[in-house]
Amino acid sequence: MIDFLTGDMNVLGIETSCDETSAAIISGGTRVLSSIVLSQIEMHAPYGGVVPEIASRSHVEHLSGVVGEAVKVSGLSWSAIDAVAVTHGPGLASSLLVGLSFAKGLAFSLKKPLCVINHIEAHIYSAFLEGEASRFEDVCPFVALVVSGGHTSLFRVDGKGRYKLLGQTIDDAAGEAFDKGANLLGLGYPGGPVIDRISKNGQRDYVNFPRGRVRAQNLGLMGVDHDLCFSFSGLKTALLYYLKDHPPANEAELASVAASYQEAIIDSLVQRCERAVEDTGVLVVGGGVSLNSRLRERLTEMANRNSVELIMARPRYCGDNAAMIAGLAGAGYGTWGADAMAADAVPNLVLSL
């Protein structure tokens, strides 16, 4: 932990790694004084996915206003901000650079330390926001599932900065599987929320879609256990062929195909989590897909059945947000000071020992 860090430090966080422009102020690592998230979804929706050029231009246009709003809502003066924290990877290079350059300039002009944060680590930490500051360390060792549009990974967390990758997707992320599936179903972008919603009216066993397994011989494993890895690309192809032969005739059929597709994704996630958590008995979950109501329900069932302690991010901190960035910095994590000022944007930044 850095020496100037105090328990009630006020950290201004900035997040621009993908398609949310966000700023937040967190006190003492977990107390949220403000959290502003400007989503670009409407700008990307016509293209069926995030367009990097549009994302970075929009960050440039809006970041300064979003930061100003976060300071205003917090009720603090600029001089009460003790540090500036920002995501430096992973994410879209041109989007990361907007937030990183802004944060460097801001920290320099405020004469406050800068902290650069790994976005994946922050998704794990998001489950502890608004809780006790010591909670993250107290529940170690634990297993963390980060499940979003860009990531589907399982980690074992043994303490501060001690992350071991247990498994990950070898092709699409779970969020991508939702988005691509929704596209095939004609449901628009982003797919997760709409599939979640219409699946409530569908039959989950209407179509028996494949639950992608990863073979031990797979070359993409990079030393991790194949049984803890995920594969969603075959599922998407199965949906494509199913729809060619059986185009849904009405809303009820559409809902049942969507519910069956969702269930295949959720089955894969829950089954890997159940296995991964055997050793530690504590599962922490974050990322945009952890907003999914069926995933939350199934993980809760699994945790009750196995007496697992389940710590899920609150819905407002599941998607990309700067509160998790500022919180992680305020808890003493991340890279600080001169090293942070020299840090570059790292689009493929990893989180592992």
Answer with the entry of Zn ion, ligand KG4, none that 149 interacts with (C-beta below 5 to 8 A by kind): ligand KG4
Answer with the entry of Zn ion, ligand KG4, none that 175 interacts with (C-beta below 5 to 8 A by kind): ligand KG4
Interatomic CA distance for residues 309 and 187, integer angstroms: 35
Interatomic CA distance for residues 148 and 169, integer angstroms: 11
Interatomic CA distance for residues 125 and 353, integer angstroms: 17
Q: Considering the complex, what minimum distance in angstroms separates the CB of residue 341 from ligand KG4?
A: 25
Q: Which is nearer to Zn ion, 148 or 280 (CB)?
A: 148
Interatomic CA distance for residues 199 and 53, integer angstroms: 33
Answer with the entry of Zn ion, ligand KG4, none that 113 interacts with (C-beta below 5 to 8 A by kind): none
Interatomic CA distance for residues 39 and 289, integer angstroms: 16
Q: Which two tokens stand for residue 219?
A: 């070359």
Burial class (CB in 10 A: 0-12, 13-18, 19+), 86: buried
Q: Considering the complex, what minimum distance in angstroms separates the CB of residue 235 from ligand KG4?
A: 14
Give the burial string for 227-248 (b: 16+ CB within 10 Å, else e): ebbbbbebbbebbeebbeeeeb
In DSSP terms, 226 is beta-bridged to none
Q: Considering the complex, what minimum distance in angstroms separates the CB of residue 225 from ligand KG4?
A: 24
Q: Considering the complex, what minimum distance in angstroms separates the CB of residue 320 from Zn ion?
A: 4
Q: Considering the complex, what minimum distance in angstroms separates the CB of residue 28 from ligand KG4?
A: 24
Q: Considering the complex, what minimum distance in angstroms separates the CB of residue 177 from ligand KG4?
A: 8
Q: Which is nearer to Zn ion, 24 or 71 (CB)?
A: 24
Backbone angles phi, psi at 339, to 5 degrees: -65, -35
Interatomic CA distance for residues 301 and 343, integer angstroms: 42
Interatomic CA distance for residues 353 and 142, integer angstroms: 15
Answer with the entry of ligand KG4, Zn ion, none that 286 interacts with (C-beta below 5 to 8 A by kind): none
Dihedral of the alpha carbons of 18, 145, 181, 195, in degrees to the nearest 10? -100
Q: Which is nearer to ligand KG4, 178 or 230 (CB)?
A: 178
Q: Are 288 and 150 in contact (CB under 8 A)?
A: no
Tokens 């600080």, residue located: 336
Contacting positions for ligand KG4 (CB under 6 A)? 18, 148-150, 175, 178-179, 190-193, 196, 287-289, 291-292, 319-320
Q: Which is nearer to ligand KG4, 48 or 141 (CB)?
A: 48
User: What is the total residue count of the chain?
Assistant: 353
Burial class (CB in 10 A: 0-12, 13-18, 19+), 88: buried
Q: Which is nearer to ligand KG4, 82 or 176 (CB)?
A: 176
Contacting positions for Zn ion (CB under 5 A)? 148, 320
Interatomic CA distance for residues 157 and 194, integer angstroms: 32
Q: Are 204 and 260 in contact (CB under 8 A)?
A: yes
Q: Considering the complex, what minimum distance in angstroms separates the CB of residue 80 from ligand KG4?
A: 29
Q: Which is nearer to ligand KG4, 188 or 281 (CB)?
A: 188
Backbone angles phi, psi at 167, to 5 degrees: -170, 160
Q: Considering the complex, what minimum distance in angstroms separates the CB of residue 230 from ligand KG4?
A: 14
Q: Which is nearer to Zn ion, 66 or 185 (CB)?
A: 66
Answer with the entry of ligand KG4, Zn ion, none that 167 interacts with (C-beta below 5 to 8 A by kind): none
Q: Which is nearer to ligand KG4, 95 or 256 (CB)?
A: 95
Answer with the entry of ligand KG4, Zn ion, none that 289 interacts with (C-beta below 5 to 8 A by kind): ligand KG4
